[in-house]
A and B are shown apart, each in its own frame.
Chain A
């Protein structure tokens, strides 16, 4: 559509313009009567503006916890997280205009119907007329591939895949510059997952979103991400493009990417989408 807005990973200006900076982060879960459990130890991670970064790691390596710390929902035990140069708490005060989050289980408001769920953040501005808000919410609903007939359903009447789509529509409503996705394609059928990738790619291209994604779906991983960060041994082992990551000798990476499933998915690996910048 447009000429690709490319910046090479080595671009100095781009690395100066980071969306999320995590420095020397420690997360320790303490529960009385048990030994404290160290989840992150001296974790460093920089997410550049306009990239799609996938977080990969085994179960219990603290991927979701990291997302929650970026959102400011949880405070790290030690270390520093900054989002667009400010602590995450300030970001949360600005609300849905700055960051959209797709929670693992959707986290739809069960008391509202689908349309009201999507429109909620816009309506809370208390500025825009209701008609515009409803139209905008309907557009989002269509964008994520749901028909208008679902607009008045309650979340309890939706299937798992539909909940994911509505939650995505809700996360997208304000075109926030930072989008966090926790397992976006888990529970979607392959075709929906492909649709999801297409949608995210086009949004990324048109709006230059920064996307941070936790995923175990190797197809989505290779399809969307400009960079992959691997969490293991309580820190980020490597960040880089898919071929760079796969060349790393860490045993987890070898098992994860070079197992049978990884091989199959990597065969379909094509050029990652360009890094766009806003």
Chain B
């Protein structure tokens, strides 16, 4: 039997367990095994192949030892040779698997081993199977996938239209029985998408106002049209930049949160639980989010525009010497009131779109992490794109409104 005199071996173990127990020092303390525990092959005097050391996953995790062992295994012929495993300090299933693979899934002609080693190897032998073929996609599959894109897009459009239709129906239900509407949810979402977004939108708006004022003041000074900065800032910020900027920020901030929330509810089967209780998703999840954002979005847009105007006013004062008093006086003349109404209604539409897109993607999340990540990304990217698209549409449709 193998002498149990390796460093760190517990001498109190019985002989058979000594062959299979871990010397505590190597197994538990030091990933780089001591020399005696290094897995290796040796030729015995009788010509048999002797395996020494620890044949465990932990021992193989040392790159150096593994390379040495793999090299000596490659030199040893598998069949025919006599094998002696008794000197092995510890053999686990990974070590057993390695030997078994080296023997090409056959027992060698002559094999000496201890009972625990036999148990491990027999288990490996019994359960070793080839991995089944995983069918790889062929060119035809790729072609079909490509060809399927058109119908798939139609399907997506259909689903989205269904979602909008459902929202309108839910809105009808709510108007007919307002006492049963999810008011608490609406106010909760109003707070989380609206009130908590105020600091970040103010900061971004302010900075954009400053930047825009500085840039235009450079150009205006060349033509001596300094006072026109009020017109430029007023019109561009209130009519365009404020609403779009706010919508982009909210899409990134609240849209992604909505998708992730509903998506996780899908993963944890909360959506199914709701459905079983007879609570419709549209009425309880989509409606409050859409309504809350439809109300919050115009307010945030106004708030962002105000912050941007403040920034522009400060910058105009600093660069062109236009006093805030003059600025405020000239603003109503430069920007007719219709622009504010246009901005507000535009923002409400943005809010509805962002919430609907976020909810749509949340509902379509599959129960895995990858899908959750992909859906959240698409929700943000698509809502920002749609916001800019719809903004362009508004610009074309209302080109005759709000100018003097």
Contact = CB atoms under 8 A, between A and B. Distances in A.
Contacts of B12: 13
Contacts of B20: 206-208, 278
Contacts of B101: 131-132, 135
Contact of A97 (B10, B61, B129): B61
A156 B94 contact: no
22 contacts: A3-B16, A13-B10, A13-B12, A17-B24, A97-B61, A110-B369, A111-B368, A129-B70, A131-B101, A135-B97, A138-B128, A139-B127, A142-B129, A173-B57, A174-B58, A175-B94, A177-B28, A206-B116, A206-B120, A206-B123, A278-B21, A278-B27
A142 B97 CA distance: 14
Given A5-B17, A202-B119, A277-B21, 14 more contacts: A17-B24, A97-B31, A97-B57, A98-B28, A110-B369, A110-B370, A139-B128, A143-B123, A156-B367, A175-B93, A206-B119, A208-B20, A208-B21, A276-B17
Interface in B352-403: 366-370
Interface in B116-131: 116, 119-120, 123-124, 126-131
B93 A127 contact: no
A202 B21 CA distance: 15
**A-B residue pairs, 10 tightest by C-beta:** A110-B368, A142-B127, A175-B92, A278-B21, A97-B58, A139-B127, A156-B367, A174-B57, A111-B370, A136-B97
A98 B127 CA distance: 24
A2 interface: yes
Interface centre among A3, A97, A173 (most CB of B within 10 A): A97
Interface of B: 10, 12-14, 16-17, 20-22, 24, 27-28, 31, 56-58, 60-63, 66, 70, 92-94, 97-98, 101, 115-116, 119-120, 123-124, 126-132, 134, 366-370
A177 B58 CA distance: 11
Contact of B60 (A128, A140, A143): A128
Interface string A204-230: 011110000000000000000000000
Nearest to A139: B127
Contacts, number: 129
A262 B56 CA distance: 40
A134 interface: yes
Interface stretch (A20-28, A146-154, A247-255): A146-154
A35 interface: no
A268 interface: no
Contacts of B134: 152
B376 to A, nearest CB: 15
B115 A127 contact: no
A182 B152 CA distance: 43
A151 B28 contact: no
B10 A128 contact: no
A46 B17 CA distance: 23
Contacts of B22: 177, 278
Interface string A96-127: 01100000000001110001000000100101
A156 B366 contact: yes
A140 B57 CA distance: 14
Given A156-B367, A177-B28, A125 B17 contact: no
Interface string A60-103: 00000000000000000000000011000000001001100000
Interface residues of A, number: 49
A115 B131 contact: yes
B124 A148 contact: no
Interface centre among B58, B98, B128, B134 (most CB of A within 10 A): B58
A5 B367 contact: no
A160 B167 CA distance: 35
Interface in A224-278: 276-278
A127 B32 CA distance: 14
A174 B134 CA distance: 25
A132 B98 CA distance: 7
A175 B16 CA distance: 19
Contacts of A174: 57-58, 92, 94
A142 B366 CA distance: 28
Nearest to A143: B127
B131 A138 contact: yes
A22 B157 CA distance: 59
A125 B58 CA distance: 9
Nearest to A121: B57
B132 A152 contact: yes
A277 to B, nearest CB: 6
A278 B369 CA distance: 39
Nearest to B66: A127
A194 to B, nearest CB: 18
Given A154-B368, A156-B366, A138 B17 contact: no
A239 B379 CA distance: 54
Given A98-B28, A132-B101, A151-B132, A139 B124 contact: yes
A139 B93 contact: yes
